[in-house]
Amino acid sequence: MCGIIARIGDDDSAVDELITGLENLEYRGYDSAGVAIKNGGGPEVFKRQGKISRLKDVLAGEVPDGGLGIGHTRWSTHGPPTDENAHPHTDCTGEVAVVHNGIIENYDELRSELASRGHEFESDTDTEVIPHLVEEELARGASPELAFRRTIRKLSGSYAVAMITERDHAVYATRRGSPLVLGVSDGEYFLASDVPAFLDFTEEVIYLDDGDVVVVRSDDYEISTLDGQTVERSVSTVEWDPEDAGKGGYDHYMLKEIHEQPTALRQTLRGRADGTTGEVHLEDFPAGSFEQVERVQFVACGTSYHAGLVGAGFLSGGGVPAQTFLASEYATSPAPVDEDTLVVGVTQSGETADTLSALRKANASGARTLAVTNVVGSTAARECDDALFIRAGPEIGVAATKTFSSQVVSLSLLAERIARDVTGSPTEESRERLAALDELPGQVQQILDYSNAQKIAKQYRDSDAYFFIGRGTVFPVALEGALKFKEISYEHAEGFAAGELKHGPLALVTPKTPIFAVFTGENDEKTLGNVKEAEARGAPIVAVASEDHEEVAQHADHVLTIPETHPDVAGVLANVQLQLLSYHAADLLGRPIDKPRNLAKSVTVE
């Protein structure tokens, strides 16, 4: 949530490159946007409530020259989205400009103290205390760098901060609990919340650690601790192509990313699973890597939580005790955590604040930790004992699609590796599952080519509510289908374990509440019984099932068909149909699909 960018170089192209960076970061927040440009004098600030297009309109008149600048796209936490609350924020003199991602937890106290000393505030944000604190340090004779370091020491909370001042030609930045990466190129440097911000300009990046302070000038940079001790951070080359983060001719990022799933799944599976021999080869986890594990706990949020539920089901079915926790609730969980516990943090970005907090609790309890993430160099990947990368490629749409599919497949492989290490050799069941995974990318492509989801979305666009049900490994798919539907269509949708429909939710069922029921070939008789209960109350039934499932078809008004496959793999196929359903429903309603209201891609505050 919120995206920051800074650019410094020898030429005067800061504005254009900052705007490009902000557009690439808009998935992190789109309530308001702003830039501060420095050319000779003090920082010149331009900011507007709303999308970045409004800021571009402002800059279209007189674009300021300058090689140094900072920018920000906001997801509101303190104060509504207004011009005044947009970043960058400045001090009383206008000499200091700051952008910030995160939350300053002690800002009320700091703001009261500053106001008592005569400082005047123009916004409701927590961020604005930062430039005023720097202003005081500068007035005491500190250099900009010293003033910045002293100010950071006074802050509590999570943050990534970038600052420029009138006094010198440099960017000062630091991070604690919020992501920040440094982009390195010939003649220019970048700082940003995420790599896509500057991928158009450089593929060379440095992932900063919590507590790092970086001072970037036109010709060099220096990274140190808050105490000033120099530290070395390695330069990595990002393998994404800038076009990977573009729409590629699709109307929305979400639709593009749904259609990228066959490729993403091939990348996830490449070199890791052999459906012919039944072997699993996870690059950093040879046979025996998990022999000492007695229990597995998954911690995650949102879509990743649903993937974690699937993963726990795989492990439990393989004879390994496993549970899934909402990361935000993990701190109060009574579940045992010790050195024989493996805690798996499932997080697309690797920066989700609640998940990082849960992983840190697990580390403090002596557990082994493992991150399942899409981002090499992310905080989760660096702080955990181990990491398994899902290899889905960049995902820009706020509503996760291809990363969910890649997470589920990655967790399936991880569960297979753990189960074999803990309980013994592969079973015939596991070999069949791996063989089904081999076929999965092609089967997803079949769905994308022939889905009738758009027609069904149109049929039920005026419904009162939408219910999704499933059993076993597709109960989480029902939850995910409902989450996707509600977050981009703004229509009421709920997911239930199929058997729970009659224990309360059935009171809401009417002819205006379609039921989307997922069938996998396992426990289908019971799910069909639940469908009949809803059917008897007049509810329209949409089944997600293989096309040869005749009995299901007899009781369904429509069928979203999926290819025949192993029951444990069917959920991924069913989910693709539900993603398409949600997309087309939202598109028919004219919703801003890639940027649903009140939501952001990466939630970096607890």
Q: What CATH number should be reported for the domain holding residue 285?
A: 3.40.50.10490
Mean pLDDT (the chain) is: 90
Same domain, 431 and 406: yes
Confidence of residue 602 (pLDDT cuts 50, 70, 90): low
The predicted pLDDT at position 83 comes to 81
**392, 422, 443 - which closes a domain:** 443
526 is catalytic: no
* From 402, 486, 595, 601, active-site residue: 601
Q: Percentage of residues in the chain with pLDDT exceeding 70? A: 95
Closest CA to 506 of 482, 537, 527: 537
The predicted pLDDT at position 186 comes to 87
The predicted pLDDT at position 50 comes to 83
Same domain, 196 and 263: no
The predicted pLDDT at position 65 comes to 76
Confidence of residue 47 (pLDDT cuts 50, 70, 90): confident
State the Cα angle at 202 between 219 and 169, rounded to 5°.
30
102 found inside a domain: yes
What secondary structure, in 3-state letters, does 292-304 show? CCCEEEEEECHHH
Tokens matching residue 388: 């398994």
* From 2, 301, 361, 595, active-site residue: 2
Per-residue pLDDT tens digits for 339-397: 999 999 999 989 888 999 999 999 999 999 999 999 888 889 999 999 999 999 888 88
Residue 234 pLDDT > 60, yes or no?
Answer: yes
Same domain, 147 and 124: yes
Q: Which residues contact 80 (CB under 8 A, 6 or more apart)?
A: 124
Q: Mean pLDDT over residues 409-415, rounded?
A: 96
232 found inside a domain: yes
176 found inside a domain: yes
Domain that holds residue 340: 253-443
The predicted pLDDT at position 295 comes to 95
Confidence of residue 85 (pLDDT cuts 50, 70, 90): confident
* φ, ψ dihedrals at 119, nearest 5°: -75, 140
600 found inside a domain: no
The predicted pLDDT at position 181 comes to 92
Same domain, 566 and 417: no
**189, 217, 244 - which closes a domain:** 244
Same domain, 410 and 459: no
State the Cα angle at 199 between 194 and 200, rounded to 5°.
140
593 found inside a domain: no
301 is catalytic: no
Give the CA radius of gyration of the chain.
Answer: 25
Same domain, 13 and 113: yes
248: left (phi over 0), alpha (psi -120 to 50) or beta: left
Q: Are 103 and 160 in contact (CB under 8 A)?
A: no
Same domain, 268 and 375: yes
Residue 606 pLDDT > 70, yes or no?
Answer: no
Give the DSSP letter string of 292-337: T--EEEEEE-HHHHHHHHHHHHHHHHTT--EEEEEGGGGGG-----
DSSP annotation of 64 reads P
The predicted pLDDT at position 49 comes to 87
Number of domains in the chain: 3
Per-residue pLDDT tens digits for 469-495: 999 989 999 999 999 999 999 999 999
Cα dihedral 47/48/51/55 (nearest 10): -60
Under DSSP, is residue 542 helix (H, G, I), strand (E, B) or coil?
strand
Confidence of residue 448 (pLDDT cuts 50, 70, 90): very high
Residue 79 pLDDT > 80, yes or no?
Answer: no
Per-residue pLDDT tens digits for 260-311: 999 999 989 988 988 778 789 998 898 899 999 999 999 999 999 999 999 9
38 or 60, higher pLDDT: 38
601 found inside a domain: no
**194, 224, 244 - which closes a domain:** 244
142 or 240, higher pLDDT: 142
566 or 548, higher pLDDT: 566
Per-residue pLDDT tens digits for 88-118: 999 999 999 999 988 898 999 999 999 999 9
Could you tell me the strand order of the sheet in which 236-237 lies? 44-49, 32-38, 68-74, 3-9, 188-192, 181-185, 204-207, 236-237
Same domain, 337 and 485: no
Under DSSP, is residue 521 helix (H, G, I), strand (E, B) or coil?
coil
CATH number at residue 105: 3.60.20.10
594 found inside a domain: no
State the Cα angle at 556 between 445 and 473, rounded to 5°.
55
Same domain, 269 and 223: no
Same domain, 435 and 550: no
The predicted pLDDT at position 283 comes to 85
Same domain, 424 and 561: no
Residue 544 pLDDT > 90, yes or no?
Answer: yes
State the Cα angle at 42 between 36 and 46, rounded to 5°.
25
Same domain, 342 and 226: no
**Poorest-confidence range of 69-83, 238-252, 419-433?**
238-252
- From the CB of residue 554, how many other CB atoms can be counted at a distance below 10 Å? 9
604 found inside a domain: no
